[in-house]
Copies of this chain bind each other. A is one copy, B any other.
Amino acid sequence: MSSPTDMKIIGKAARRVEGGRKVTGTMPYAADVVAPRMLHVRLVTSPHAHADIGAIDASAALGTPGVVAVYTGRDVHPSGPEPSNRAESILARDKVIYYGQPVAAVVAVSEQAADDGATGVDVSYNLRDAVMDMRAALQPHAPVVRAKNHPAGWDPSQLRTVESGETDVALLPDNVTGARRITRGDVNAGFAQADVVVQRSYSIPWVHQAYMEPHATTATPDGFGGLTIHTCTQGQFITRDVTARVLGLKQSMVTVVGMEVGGGFGGKASLLAPLAGWIALRLNAPVKVVLTRAQEQALANPASGAEIDLKLGATRDGTLVALQGLAILDAGCYRGAPLGLALPSLGGWYKIANVDLVGYEVLTNRPGTGAYRAPGVPQATFAIESAIDELADQLGIDPLELRLRNAVAEGDERLDGTPWPRIGMREVLEGAREHPLWQARLAGEAGIGLAVGSWPGSSEACTAGVRVNPDGTVIVQLGMNDISGANTTMAMLAAETYGVRLEDVRIATGDTGSAPYHGESGGSKVTYTLGPAVMRAAEDARRQTLAIAAAHLEAAPEDLEIVDGVVRVRGADDRSVTVGEIAAMSMDWSSSIEPVHGMGKSAITDEAPTFVCQIVRADVDAETGKVTLRESAMVQDVGRALNPQLVEGQIIGGATQGLGWALWEDLAYDANGQLLAASFMDYALPNSEKAPPFDVRVVEIPSTAGPFGAKGVGEPPIIPGPAAVANAVAHATGRRITSLPLTAPRVLAALQE
């Protein structure tokens, strides 16, 4: 294998292998899938956030030309309790629990006919009070989204104390579906030592992943109980397993073809597959479901909002001594809020001797939540990184220096008691300190703030294959659905490892039948865990190639090298054979040589947490409160930048989303549960005009297990944005704003206080 010093491909900028097809519009997406005799589905959704379903009259729909069938929850779930999880809740039956919940599915021969039919489904509702506020949802007598089984003698007016670790939710009110507590030291004693204490409540809205491509799924029955599903998914094996479980099929009977994902950011998994599959099996015909943008906003799986109370104390010299917090994460109407990721991010990357953090997951009458880039961590980070900045201000210590003084390093204890592995928090902060933007602040310029973010990383066992064609081109076989350009990195790793040019490597993503296993593309784990599998597969193919070539060239395998697809005897240029010729020998009639086909696996348990520091310079218009971002610097530890262009793109993309959360995005509902942001006209997204110029600086603290030391890059850059902006605004105005987004009216109100 090539050593890091003589690499031809790794570490150099390479264009995305599929980029050309995307920018020219020739890449097919899930909504482009067609099948013979395919039917189209339009969902009829609830206009209410909380209501009992009465009579449903579908006669007008069924009389609409082209309409084939109308299904309701009574067809899908004819008996038993309504499912309590999103995957199984195909259509509501007795009660709707969020605005936009699918109540009926109209199936027709064309999308237009399905649309027309959907207007002819008349549903009667008996309204209930909705619970939309997560603090209210926590209370004992709030409207109940879904009743739970409490133990005998349970008293709803007694909110039990949350124990260290996880608490049995049966003891908590109906809407409280998760509770955990993290403690260290003695938090009261800690605050007793503190010279300065900051105490604030932070409010973080729900936001939507706001991918360009709406969810689209086509399910094609095989006529014998099996299904093929074409869908946009970040994990086709997950979609397969969920669909098989919900529909009661063997996993081998469901084949999911993961189409190119037109933006996922955590939000694309299995949303429509069970519904489409159920209808396809019922009608024994292919059916396609595509969400409208309004449905996408209302019924997909956006990111949880949070309410966080934080109290942070330090001694005069800048030593953090106590942290107390309460974090409420809103799961919407199904469990799944990222409490387990959010809670340890509340101060987890600072050395604080006394900590007491309590977290709740609560249900409200909103759609279920999904993953969104670094789930839960931006919410927590907004709170802790605002608080520490405010503390620095009160202490009169430079906020970067305060962070450095308390920064964790290798060997420090994490909140779960395990030690931090080697990390780059200090290097990232030092990189930020040297950056001209921070130097400008130090020189007295106003409106400059920063924040730190960290992502723990993740891993999942996976497999990859590498096959060589008779013309010397190389196929990398994957089951991974690329959402971030990872295919390009995999091609680079294979080319570098096997010994061919990058343009001779092609990624082949199989379906859940033909592909090697790969889980979800998420958690910044693809390059970190699939990368080594691809390298091992390429090494395996290389070994096979060299063994055949050694016999052919009458040389020892160890005397051979592969350069640009040619196997050569080192030091004897005239003795060579192409890898294509070798492959051809191994794939022929009567050949005695087995085909060149390598397999590689990985099951990584080494952790590789990453750190990022974002600096933002913002102007605040004193008359309107409008915040304008002038520039931003991102200093991120990426372990090793395999493809600097892709790394920079990921960092800028994530940072832009973080700034969207800071300044514009808010998946707002009114108090009755009506969605106020049902289109991209109402839901404000950052675009290239609003985003500032970014300067990206990478720090390379190699991981132990990632390819060439690489770590995950995707999640961290979204994390610090909201806090960095709030800190910059505070630096510009002296006002501390603790509710996101920092819209002009909100900033103006703060200025006028």
Binding site for B on A (CB under 8 A): 20-21, 24-28, 32, 34-36, 221-224, 237, 241, 244, 250-253, 255, 284, 458-463, 465, 467, 469-471, 473-475, 477, 504-506, 508-511, 513-517, 519, 523, 586-595, 597, 599, 601-603, 605
16 additional A-B pairs beyond A26-B224, A26-B284, beta carbons within 8 Å, are A241-B470, A252-B469, A252-B504, A252-B505, A253-B473, A460-B588, A465-B516, A511-B514, A516-B595, A517-B595, A519-B587, A523-B589, A586-B603, A592-B603, A597-B599, A599-B599
Q: Complex Cα distance A594/B460, Å?
A: 9
| Nearest CB in chain B: distance from A288 CB, A | 12
Q: Which of A21, A224, A505 has the most CB of B within 10 A?
A: A224
Q: Complex Cα distance A490/B277, Å?
A: 28
Q: Which residues in B have their C-beta under 8 angstroms from that of A509? A: 513-514
Cβ contacts A to B, 20 pairs, < 8 Å: A25-B223, A26-B224, A28-B36, A251-B469, A252-B475, A252-B505, A253-B473, A460-B589, A460-B591, A461-B587, A461-B588, A461-B591, A463-B594, A465-B516, A508-B513, A510-B513, A514-B514, A592-B603, A594-B602, A595-B601
Q: Which residues in B have their C-beta under 8 angstroms from that of A510? A: 510-511, 513-515
A20: contacting residue among B224, B514, B517, B589, CB under 8 A: B224
The chain B residue sitting closest to A31, CB to CB, is B36
Are B32 and A34 in contact, with the CB atoms below 8 A? no
Are B597 and A517 in contact, with the CB atoms below 8 A? yes
A461: contacting residue among B21, B25, B241, B595, CB under 8 A: B595
Are B473 and A513 in contact, with the CB atoms below 8 A? no
Interface majority SS on A: helix, strand, loop or mixed? loop
Q: Which of A28, A251, A504, A509 has the most CB of B within 10 A?
A: A251
Once A20-B224, A586-B603, A587-B519 are accepted as A-B contacts, the answer to whether A462 and B514 lie under 8 Å apart by CB is: no
The chain B residue sitting closest to A517, CB to CB, is B595
Are B21 and A223 in contact, with the CB atoms below 8 A? yes
Q: Which residues in B have their C-beta under 8 angstroms from that of A250? A: 471, 473, 504
| Nearest CB in chain B: distance from A375 CB, A | 13
Q: Complex Cα distance A590/B605, Å?
A: 6
Q: Which residues in B have their C-beta under 8 angstroms from that of A511? A: 508, 510, 514
The 6 closest A-B pairs by CB, nearest first: A26-B223, A508-B513, A510-B514, A252-B473, A594-B601, A252-B506
A587: contacting residue among B221, B224, B517, B597, CB under 8 A: B517
Q: Complex Cα distance A459/B505, Å?
A: 29
A34: contacting residue among B28, B36, B474, B505, CB under 8 A: B36
| Nearest CB in chain B: distance from A626 CB, A | 42
| Nearest CB in chain B: distance from A109 CB, A | 15
Q: Which residues in B have their C-beta under 8 angstroms from that of A519? A: 587-589
Q: Which residues in B have their C-beta under 8 angstroms from that of A28? A: 36
Q: Which of A223, A237, A474, A513 has the most CB of B within 10 A?
A: A513
Once A514-B510, A514-B511 are accepted as A-B contacts, the answer to whether A594 and B603 lie under 8 Å apart by CB is: yes
The chain B residue sitting closest to A525, CB to CB, is B589
| Nearest CB in chain B: distance from A489 CB, A | 18
Q: Complex Cα distance A588/B241, Å?
A: 13
Q: Complex Cα distance A36/B28, Å?
A: 9
Q: Complex Cα distance A586/B591, Å?
A: 35
Q: Complex Cα distance A523/B477, Å?
A: 29
| Nearest CB in chain B: distance from A322 CB, A | 32
A462: contacting residue among B244, B592, B595, B603, CB under 8 A: B595
Q: Complex Cα distance A516/B599, Å?
A: 11
Q: Complex Cα distance A222/B508, Å?
A: 14
Are A586 and B461 in contact, with the CB atoms below 8 A? yes
Q: Which residues in B have their C-beta under 8 angstroms from that of A590? A: 458-460, 605
| Nearest CB in chain B: distance from A250 CB, A | 5
A24: contacting residue among B223, B253, B470, B599, CB under 8 A: B223
| Nearest CB in chain B: distance from A585 CB, A | 9
Q: Which residues in B have their C-beta under 8 angstroms from that of A222? A: 21, 26
A251: contacting residue among B473, B586, B592, CB under 8 A: B473
Are A458 and B597 in contact, with the CB atoms below 8 A? no
Q: Complex Cα distance A493/B252, Å?
A: 17
Q: Which residues in B have their C-beta under 8 angstroms from that of A34? A: 34-36
Q: Complex Cα distance A595/B460, Å?
A: 10
The chain B residue sitting closest to A590, CB to CB, is B459
| Nearest CB in chain B: distance from A551 CB, A | 13
Q: Which residues in B have their C-beta under 8 angstroms from that of A459? A: 589-590
Q: Complex Cα distance A36/B589, Å?
A: 38
Once A34-B36, A251-B470, A508-B255 are accepted as A-B contacts, the answer to whether A589 and B223 lie under 8 Å apart by CB is: no
| Nearest CB in chain B: distance from A265 CB, A | 19
Are B517 and A514 in contact, with the CB atoms below 8 A? no
Q: Which residues in B have their C-beta under 8 angstroms from that of A595? A: 461-463, 516-517, 601, 603
Q: Which residues in B have their C-beta under 8 angstroms from that of A237? A: 587
| Nearest CB in chain B: distance from A27 CB, A | 8
Q: Which residues in B have their C-beta under 8 angstroms from that of A21? A: 222-224
Q: Which residues in B have their C-beta under 8 angstroms from that of A475? A: 252, 513
Q: Complex Cα distance A729/B187, Å?
A: 105
The chain B residue sitting closest to A476, CB to CB, is B513
The chain B residue sitting closest to A225, CB to CB, is B20
Q: Which residues in B have their C-beta under 8 angstroms from that of A27? A: 223
The chain B residue sitting closest to A533, CB to CB, is B594
Q: Which residues in B have their C-beta under 8 angstroms from that of A473? A: 250-253
Q: Which residues in B have their C-beta under 8 angstroms from that of A477? A: 513-514
The chain B residue sitting closest to A598, CB to CB, is B599
Q: Which residues in B have their C-beta under 8 angstroms from that of A516? A: 465, 467, 595, 597
Q: Which residues in B have their C-beta under 8 angstroms from that of A470? A: 241, 251
Q: Complex Cα distance A26/B275, Å?
A: 21
| Nearest CB in chain B: distance from A266 CB, A | 14
| Nearest CB in chain B: distance from A246 CB, A | 13
Q: Which residues in B have their C-beta under 8 angstroms from that of A224? A: 20-21, 24, 26
| Nearest CB in chain B: distance from A599 CB, A | 5
Are B591 and A603 in contact, with the CB atoms below 8 A? yes
Q: Complex Cα distance A477/B511, Å?
A: 11
| Nearest CB in chain B: distance from A446 CB, A | 45
Q: Complex Cα distance A255/B469, Å?
A: 12
Q: Complex Cα distance A505/B241, Å?
A: 16
